[in-house]
Amino acid sequence: MTEQPIKNPAGPVIKCEGLTKRFGTFVAVNAISFEVAAGEIFGFLGANGAGKTTAMRMLCGLLGPTEGMATVAGFDVFRQPELIKQHIGYMSQKFSLYEDLTVRENIRFYGGVYGLKTVDIRQKTDELLRRLGLEAERDTLVGALPLGWKQKLAFSVALLHTPAVVFLDEPTGGVDPITRRQFWDLIYEAAALGTTVFITTHYMDEAEYCDRVSIMVDGKIEALDTPAGLKKHFSVGAMDEVFLHLARGAKNQE
């Protein structure tokens, strides 16, 4: 649906410096720093409880950081969280569509929430349904669609307002490898058009698909490089081993 390339501000699309979140004495996110370039697919890995979700919530403008600075799409997470919200897309494992609304009603609703014009929504709906091959299902309730279709639809809806960054929180949970592969084709397409993709996952084969990968352990980023670079650095054959090597030393585990 992103027929026109995304206009990105100069410099990195996501930039964190010493970003920290404390809940009482517990440090959930401990001074993380990294940059993500426009059009990059950035894998954000870590065991459950490592602080991924908290970090992602700060970047989405849902949670104020305790210390440090971060900008997303050129806006400050401290001072401009509402502007950030207009320039990001979001999709979670729960695929975030209304099951009792039809495909078209879901698209129209999210289009409206992001302030798109009615004409644009109609045009984008047609485009989107054609690309996903869902034209025959436009008036089907989303609840009646197979999981793989729901996820593809949810991803496309998250890109409806052509955001600069799309945050994907374990988007492929519970689907088979073929559907996952198809889902990644959509991610590549979006990235090729300039959308920055920020993705968390527990599947190590997916980590291999990312341009760069960071691994969080106990609130800190312990490793950040391309998948090939990481494997070389730890002299192992697969991302699985890199992850296990780092995550085994963790103190905060669920």
Partner 1 sequence: MKAFLMFVRKEFYHIFRDPRTLLILFGMPVALVALFGFALTNEIKNADVAVLDFDKGVHARQVQQRLFSSGYFGLRDYATSYLDVAAAFRQGHVKLAVVFPVGFSADLDHLGHAQVQLVADASDQNTAISLVNYASTIIRSYAQEQARPTGPAGPRVEAVSRLYFNPEMKAAYTFVPGTMALILLLVSAMLTSITIAREKETGTMEVLLVSPMRQLPILLGKILPYFLLSFINGLVILGLGVWALHIPQRGSLGLLIAETLLYIFVALALGVLISTRAASQQTAMLTSMLSLLLPTLILSGFLFPIASMPVPLQLLSNVIPARPYIVVLKGIMIKGLGLRELWRETLTLAGMGTALLLLALASLKNHLA
How many residues contact partner 1, by CB under 8 A? Answer: 31
What's the rounded Cα separation, in Å, for the pair 73 and 49? 27
Of 5, 11, 112, 177, the one binding partner 1 by CB under 8 A: 112
State yes or no: residue 166 binds partner 1 (CB under 8 A): no
State yes or no: residue 155 binds partner 1 (CB under 8 A): no
Strand order in the sheet with 14-23: 26-36, 14-23, 67-72, 75-76
State yes or no: residue 98 binds partner 1 (CB under 8 A): yes
Amino acid letter, residue 22: R
CB of 244 to partner 1, least distance (A): 29
Phi first, then psi, for residue 102 (nearest 5°) are -75, 170
Question: Residue 196 CB: number of other CB atoms within 10 A?
Answer: 26
State yes or no: residue 94 binds partner 1 (CB under 8 A): yes
State yes or no: residue 101 binds partner 1 (CB under 8 A): yes
Of 27, 31, 37, 62, the one binding partner 1 by CB under 8 A: 62
CB of 143 to partner 1, least distance (A): 10
CB contact at 8 A, 187 and 119: no
Enumerate the β-bridge partners of residue 19: 32
Check residue 135 and report its DSSP letter. G
State yes or no: residue 78 binds partner 1 (CB under 8 A): no
CB of 154 to partner 1, least distance (A): 9
Q: Which of 26, 111, 65, 47 minimizes the C-alpha distance to 56?
A: 65
Enumerate the β-bridge partners of residue 60: none
Of 42, 149, 155, 167, the one binding partner 1 by CB under 8 A: 167
Amino acid letter, residue 39: G
Q: At what angle do helices 103-113 and 118-132 cross, to 10 degrees?
A: 140
Comparison of 33 and 80: residue with beta carbon closer to partner 1: 80
Residues contacting residue 115 through CB under 8 Å, at least 6 positions apart: 86, 161
Q: Note the helical H segments in the chain.
A: 52-59, 81-86, 103-113, 118-132, 147-158, 177-192, 204-209, 227-233, 239-247
State yes or no: residue 88 binds partner 1 (CB under 8 A): yes
CB of 21 to partner 1, least distance (A): 12
State yes or no: residue 67 binds partner 1 (CB under 8 A): no
State yes or no: residue 234 binds partner 1 (CB under 8 A): no
Amino acid letter, residue 25: T
Of 74, 80, 109, 238, the one binding partner 1 by CB under 8 A: 109
State yes or no: residue 149 binds partner 1 (CB under 8 A): no
CB of 223 to partner 1, least distance (A): 27
CB of 86 to partner 1, least distance (A): 5
Site residues for partner 1 per CB under 8 A: 57, 60-63, 82, 85-86, 88, 90-101, 105, 108-115, 167
